[in-house]
Amino acid sequence: MITRLEDKELKRMSRRQLLKLVPVAALGVFAFPKVSDRLVAAGVRFSDWAAGETFRRQHLAQTYADSQVVPFEKFPYNGYDVLDPEVDLEKWTLTVEGDVQHPGEYMLAQIQALPKISQNTRHVCVEGWDVVGSFGGSRISDFLKLVGANTSARFLEVECVDDYYESIDMESALHPQSLMCYEMYGQPLDRKHGAPLRLQMPTKLGYKQAKYLDTVRITNVLKPGKTGYWEDQGYSWFGGL
């Protein structure tokens, strides 16, 4: 729609409209690294909050037929440091502490005595690749019952033999597909995949699936800077799928 205006008038109105755009310039603060580092970290926290709020504990991740599972040789080994921290499988026990009724050392046999779940689910790496694998283990929720954990606590923290550490929200821990995994492809977990025990949660990214578990702690507080190996460097803490 064309109008005819005096030049002065057009300039005046153009300026006035231009000024209304000034709030967009606020995004310019992202150009300053010191500020943007904090802002994008806050952006990830906000995303994590939104992901946590919308997480549905009863919504199952897709499972796959045996024919859709990648061959064992094509399931990548991934670690942050050494792939085989030389766990003494004979003497290995899992330390359970924190907000639980029965803290102490647990043997693998006690975990294996819980109902066994086998599932073919997708393992998604934060890098972008993914594989459908075959996993077996006990539900984390069953294990938490066994140790008398207070499931209204907020977090499950784990420490690993290779000094890796992780923490997950209780909702995700109680998800029916979240496992204390001791088998892959129907065989005991091999050393490089985290023997004797690892986390396996199809609702979480790969870096949340800590291997070579050493300690499980139920807690309401996470120490800042000690929430997870990669998370402390900037990865999303929720890491949900």
Partner 1 sequence: MANEESRKEKQEEKKPTPNAVPAVEPALQDKDQDDKDQNDKDQDNDACVIEAVIPKMELVDAEAVPRSGQAPSEATAAAPKAKKPEAKEKADEPELVRAAYEHPLAIRLTHWVNAISLFVMVTSGLRIFRAFPSFGPKIPEKVLLDVPKSLTLGGWLGGALQWHFTFMWFFAASGIFYVLYQIASGHFRTLLFTPRDIPGVWPMARHYFLFGPKPQQTGQYNPLQKLAYTSAIAFGALSLLTGIVLYKPAQFSWLAFLFGGFHLTRIWHFAAMCGFLAFIPGHLIMVALHGWSNFYSMLSGWKREPEYQE
Binding site for partner 1 (CB under 8 A): 1-7, 9-10, 13-18, 20-21, 23-24, 27, 30, 39-44, 46-47, 51, 54-56, 59, 61-62, 70, 73-76, 122, 124-131, 202-203, 230, 233-236, 240-241
Nearest to 186 by CA among 123, 132, 137: 137
Confirm if 168 and 238 have CB atoms less than 8 A apart: no
Q: Is 144 helix (H, G, I), strand (E, B) or coil?
A: helix
Q: What is the closest distance, in whole angstroms, from the C-beta atom of residue 23 to partner 1 in the complex?
A: 8
| Shortest CB 50 distance to partner 1, Å | 9
Three-class DSSP category at 67 = helix
Q: Which positions ≥6 away from 174 have C-beta within 8 Å? A: 57, 140, 141, 144, 151
Is the distance from CB of 157 to CB of 98 less than 8 angstroms?
yes
For residues 75 and 92, which CB has a smaller minimum distance to partner 1 in the complex? Answer: 75
Nearest distance, CB of residue 226 and partner 1, angstroms:
17
User: 115, 117, 178: which is closest to 151 by C-alpha?
Assistant: 178
Under 8 Å between Cβ of 180 and 94: no
Q: Round the CA-based radius of gyration of the chain to a whole number and report it.
A: 24
**Least separation, in Å, of the C-beta of 127 and partner 1?**
4
132's enclosing H/E stretch is strand 130-139
Please identify, using beta-carbon distances, which residue of 70 and 114 lies nearer to partner 1.
Answer: 70
- Least Å distance between CB 234 and partner 1? 4
Return the number of the residue (40 or 107) whose C-beta is nearest partner 1. Answer: 40
Pick the closer one to partner 1 by CB: 70 or 108: 70
| Pick 25 or 109: Cβ nearer partner 1 | 25
